[in-house]
Amino acid sequence: MQPASVYEAIGGMETFDRIVAGFYAQVREDDLLGPMYPAEDWEGAEQRLKWFLVQYWGGPQTFSERRGHPRLRMRHAEFPIDLRAHDRWLELMSNSLEDIEEETLPPAYRAMLWDHMQRVAVMLINRPV
Ligand code: HEM
């Protein structure tokens, strides 16, 4: 039987947990991105990104329930996102995706996740490059 969603096809919540955990472990240590994130709420930030990705790819709609409409451009307006920050975000996320073995995240699905992240990231640039 075909999986009902990308979310299911790549292992559901457990895989998204790993993607965001791997990403945030690097963000915490990052000189450029680290200071932008709320030092007192790393766990919350991790959850919000996970809810968003899970919802987008067909999993539980927790993001909408807890956060409402994504409005990502508006929610990122306070953070200085120039080309460097954009590149760094994608670099750290790419590292995290690379850490998930192919049996769990086959290349075609990885490419779908990656394409979406790239499209969102470029849309969030809000400072001159
Ligand atoms: C382009 C570089 C990016 C930077 C520098 C950046 C930075 C941030 C920061 C500092 C936060 C606040 C953390 C929090 O308290 O939740 C945040 C939130 C968030 N980001 Fe990004 N982000 C970037 C790209 C992205 C991309 C590509 C996505 C989606 C694929 C994304 C999705 C989110 C979501 C869903 C939230 C939580 C929104 C909320 O519920 O308030 N971000 N981001």
- Find the CATH number of the domain harbouring 76: 1.10.490.10
Q: Give the pocket of ligand 1 (CB within 6 Å).
A: 33, 36-38, 41, 45, 48-49, 52, 67, 72, 75-76, 79, 81, 85-86, 89, 117, 120-121, 124
The predicted structure's pLDDT at residue 66:
98
Distance from the alpha carbon of residue 3 to the mean position of ligand 1, in angstroms: 28
> What pLDDT was estimated at residue 69?
97
Using alpha carbons only, how large is the chain's radius of gyration in Å? 15
Weakly modelled stretches of the chain, pLDDT under 70? none
Per the structure, how many domains does the chain have? 1
Domain-located, residue 1 = no
pLDDT of 2: 78
The range of the structural domain enclosing residue 70 comes to 6-123
**pLDDT score for 3:** 84
What pLDDT, on a 0 to 100 scale, did the predictor assign at position 76? 98
Is residue 128 included in any domain, yes or no? no
In a mutational test of the pocket of ligand 1, which residue from 19, 20, 24, 49 has the highest number of ligand atoms less than 8 Å from its CB?
Answer: 49
pLDDT of residue 67: 97
Q: Let me know if residue 14 belongs to a domain.
A: yes
Total length of the chain: 129
